[in-house]
Amino acid sequence: MKQIRRMKKKISMLLLATGLAASASAQLPVELNIQLDNPKGKISSHMWGVFFEDINMGADGGIYAELVKNRSFEFDNPWMGWKKLEHASSEGAYLLLNDQQRKGNKRYVRLTNSAGSKLGLQNEGFRGMGIKAGATYEFSLQHRSNAPGLQVHVALMDEGDQVIAEAQRPLHATAAWTETALRLQATATTGKAKLKIWFTGEGTVDVDMLSLFPLDTWKGRPKGLRKDMVQMLADMKPGFIRFPGGCIVEGRDLANRFQWKKTVGSIDERELIINRWNTEFNHRLTPDYFQTFGLGFYEYFLLAEDIGAAPVPILNCGMACQFNSGELVPMDQLDEYVQDVLDLIEFANGSTATKWGKLRVDMGHPQPFNLKMIGVGNENWGPQYIERLAVFKKALNAKHPEIAIIASSGTDPEGERFEFLDDKLRAMHIDIIDEHYYRPPSWFLSSASRYDNYDRKGAKIFAGEYASHTTRPNGPGKSTWEAALSEAAFMTGLERNGDVVEMASYAPLFGHVDGWQWSPDLIWVDNLQVYGTPSYQVQKLYSTHKGSDIIPVHRDGQPVAGRDSLYASAVYDQNTKELLIKIVNYNSKPMPLRFAIATDRKFAQVAQKISLANKDLNVSNSIEEPLNIQPKQTDIRFKGKTLTDSLAPYSFTLIKLQTK
C-alpha cells in the first residue's frame, strides 16, 4: 500500500515538473493568493522606460522629421542623395566648395545660372519622403548671392514624377548667409516623394542646409520631431528614456564615438559623423546612414521632459566598441572624457552663471532638466573598463554625489565576463548595474525568478537592454507574440523584484521597414505610418500600470514563476488605489484560476480584465495589420474576496481592482 502511495506521489511530482499536471487536472482552478496588506517593497518611480538609439534609422530618417537626406553636403560622398537637375551649358555651373573656416558644416554648393536656364538639385529623401495630402511642409535653405532677381522654386513629386506640391519665392541679394523659407501644401499622399529645387534668373548663388520639414511636428516645434513616433512613446508614459545608446555611444573607433558637445548649439554648426550602424553588418549595409545630430542632446532632454521621462544619458568611458576596434584612451589622457560627463551635468542642471548651464538657457530652457543619473560606458568589459570607470567615479562622487552612476556588466547576463564585472562593480559600490540580455524565449521563461535571490543591500539593477529573440543566433528575429509573451512572463519577475530592479527597457526602440540593421525592435515605421509590435503592447501595459507597492502573489506559499507555465506579479497603486495583477498563461490551453485577496480593505466587486492573447505564437503586428495583437477589455466579478476566472491560452492578463 505504502509502495503504491509512494508511486502515486512520484507520478504526480513528475507531472508537476513537466507542466502536465495543469492539463491533467484541467477543471481544477489554480489558487493564487494575493497578499494585498503585506507589501514587500516599493516600485521605483521610473521602473519601465525606453531605450533610444539612432539605429535602424531611428533618428535621421526616423523620429527627427527632416525629410532631406544629406542637407548640407557633408556625407562622405557629398552628392549622396542628390541629383543635378539640368546639365549646364557652361563648365563650373555646379561647384562644391569646402570652406575650412566654417564651423561644423564646411561644404556648400555654388550654382551659376544663365538667363533661361533652371539649374537645381533633386533629393531622394530617406528611402523617399513621407508626404500627406493636405499637410503643409516648410522648405528652407541658407543662401548668399549678389545677383538680384533670382527666384527659388520647389516642388514635391510622387513616384511617377507627378507634382504634388509646388511653391516659389524671390531670393534676395545678400552677402551674408541668410535663411529663407517657403511653404508647400501637398495634394496627394505618398511615402516615396522626392524634392526638386531649382533657380531662375541670372547669376551665382551659394546654397546650403536645404531642408524640408512637416509643419505638423510633435508639439508643433519648428524643425522638430515626427509626431506619430513621439506619440507612441508618450502613450507608454515611460519612467525614463535612455539615450543615445547603445553601441553608438562607443563608436567603432574613438573618433566615431558619440560626443554630446558636438550635438548642441546651432544646428547648422553641428558636425555630422558616419553612423556606426552604416557599416556594422555586411548583410545589412546602409551606406547612406549618418548622424546629423539635428536630434542632439538638448533635443533628447526636451523629449524626455515632454514625455514625462527621467533623462538617462550614457556617455563614453574612454573605450571604443570592443566588438570593433576596441580602441582605448590611455589612462593619463582620460581627462577630456571625464570632463564631458561633468560638463553634461552642468548643461542639464547648471545655472546661467555656468558655461554649459548658460548654453542650455540660451537654447531656450531656463529651467534645469533635473538630471539624476548618468551611465558611464555602454557594453564595455574587462579590467580596462573597471580601471577607467574608477576614475570617472572618483570625479563624479567628489563633484556630484547627488548623481547616481550606472555602469555596464557587459554583453551577457551570465558567464565569466559578467561574473567578473558584477563582482567588481559591487565591490566599488556602483549605484546601478546595467544588465543586457538578448536571448531566446526559453531563456526569458526560465529566468523569471532571476532576481528573487539577488543581493538587496548593494547596487540596484537596470535591465538596460533586453529583447526575446526567436531566431537568435541565426538571423533577424521577428517581433512575434511568442517573443512578447516570454518577455511578459520575465517582466513579472522584474516587477516582483522591483525593490532591487530599479529600471528596465526593451531594446532597440525603433526600426524603419526600409532601413533597419537590427531586428526585433519595439516599434516599426515607414515614411508614413507607425505600429507597435506585440512587445510594445506588453511594455505599454506594464508601464501604464506601474503601481507603487510590490504585492506578493503566492501559489502554495511560493512566487508564481513558471510552475505549470504560469507567471504572476502584482502591485498596488497608492495614487489610484488600484490593485494591479499581471499574469501570463504560457499554455496552449485555457487555465482556470482562483484569486483570493488577503486584505482587510474593501474593494469593488467588479474588476477590469485587460488581455493580450493569441493561440498562435507566431502571430505578429505589421504595417498592414498593426493591431493583430492588441488589448481587449472585459469586466469580471468577485465573490467576496475571491474571483474565479479562466485565462485564455497564450495570454497576458492585467486585472485592475479598485479598492476603497
Distance of closest approach, residue 178 Cβ to ligand AHR, in angstroms: 40
Burial class from Cβ neighbours inside 10 Å (0-12, 13-18, 19+) for residue 628 reads middle
CA distances from 55 to 504, 528, 562, 621 (A): 19, 19, 34, 21
Q: Which cell numbers hold the place of 231?
A: 506619440
Identity of the residue, 190 or 519, whose beta carbon is nearer to ligand AHR in the bound complex: 519
Cα 387 from chain centroid? 29
Beta carbons within 8 Å of 624's beta carbon, 6+ residues apart:
none
Distance of closest approach, residue 518 Cβ to ligand AHR, in angstroms: 5
- Interatomic CA distance for residues 153 and 134, integer angstroms: 20
User: Quick count: other Cβ atoms within 10 Å of Cβ 10?
Assistant: 10
Query: 327, 379, 465, 578: which is the annotated catalytic residue?
Result: 379
Match 545630430 to its residue by C-alpha cell: 293
User: What angle is formed at CA 227 by the lines to CA 209 and CA 620, rounded to 5 degrees?
Assistant: 120
Task: Count H helices and E strands in the chain, helices first.
Answer: 11, 36
In terms of C-beta distances under 8 Å and separation of at least 24 residues, what long-range contacts does 355-361 make, across chains too? 359/264, 359/265, 360/298
Per the CB < 8 A criterion, the answer to whether 129 and 195 are in contact is yes
Distance of closest approach, residue 378 Cβ to ligand AHR, in angstroms: 5
**Would you say how long the chain is, in residues?**
660
Per the CB < 8 A criterion, the answer to whether 121 and 85 are in contact is yes
Distance of closest approach, residue 468 Cβ to ligand AHR, in angstroms: 13
Distance of closest approach, residue 20 Cβ to ligand AHR, in angstroms: 37
Specify the DSSP class assigned to residue 552.
-
Beta carbons within 8 Å of 313's beta carbon, 6+ residues apart:
242, 243, 244, 260, 297, 300, 344, 371, 374, 375
What are phi and psi for residue 603, nearest 5 degrees?
Answer: -145, 160
End-to-end CA distance of the chain: 53
DSSP three-state, residue 359: helix
- Interatomic CA distance for residues 567 and 259, integer angstroms: 42
Match 517582466 to its residue by C-alpha cell: 491
Identity of the residue, 486 or 505, whose beta carbon is nearer to ligand AHR in the bound complex: 505
Identity of the residue, 256 or 585, whose beta carbon is nearer to ligand AHR in the bound complex: 256
Distance of closest approach, residue 508 Cβ to ligand AHR, in angstroms: 4
Identity of the residue, 42 or 472, whose beta carbon is nearer to ligand AHR in the bound complex: 472
Distance of closest approach, residue 247 Cβ to ligand AHR, in angstroms: 4
- Interatomic CA distance for residues 333 and 344, integer angstroms: 19
Identity of the residue, 441 or 508, whose beta carbon is nearer to ligand AHR in the bound complex: 508
Cα 637 from chain centroid? 38
Identity of the residue, 465 or 487, whose beta carbon is nearer to ligand AHR in the bound complex: 465
Identity of the residue, 126 or 510, whose beta carbon is nearer to ligand AHR in the bound complex: 510
Distance of closest approach, residue 430 Cβ to ligand AHR, in angstroms: 18
Q: Which residue is nearest to ligand AHR (CB)?
A: 246
CA distances from 575 to 34, 186, 305, 547, 656 (A): 19, 46, 21, 8, 14
Distance of closest approach, residue 438 Cβ to ligand AHR, in angstroms: 7
Per the CB < 8 A criterion, the answer to whether 37 and 231 are in contact is no
**Percentage helix, strand, coil for the chain under 3-state DSSP, each rounded to 5:** 25, 35, 45
Identity of the residue, 240 or 603, whose beta carbon is nearer to ligand AHR in the bound complex: 240
Distance of closest approach, residue 509 Cβ to ligand AHR, in angstroms: 9
Is residue 66 part of the annotated active site? The answer reads no
CA distances from 332 to 92, 172, 388, 514, 553 (A): 50, 53, 10, 44, 52
DSSP 443-465: HHHHTTTTTTT--SSS-EEEEEE
Count CA within 13 A, CB hemisphere, residue 572: 23
Identity of the residue, 252 or 393, whose beta carbon is nearer to ligand AHR in the bound complex: 252
CA-nearest of 137, 138, 134 to 187 is 134
Identity of the residue, 55 or 225, whose beta carbon is nearer to ligand AHR in the bound complex: 55
Distance of closest approach, residue 433 Cβ to ligand AHR, in angstroms: 15
User: What angle is formed at CA 229 by the lines to CA 528 and CA 345, rounded to 5 degrees?
Assistant: 145
Which residues here bind ligand AHR, judged by CB under 6 A?
53, 55, 245-247, 378-379, 465, 507-508, 518
Identity of the residue, 53 or 299, whose beta carbon is nearer to ligand AHR in the bound complex: 53
Identity of the residue, 378 or 492, whose beta carbon is nearer to ligand AHR in the bound complex: 378
Distance of closest approach, residue 246 Cβ to ligand AHR, in angstroms: 3
Residue numbers annotated as active site: 379
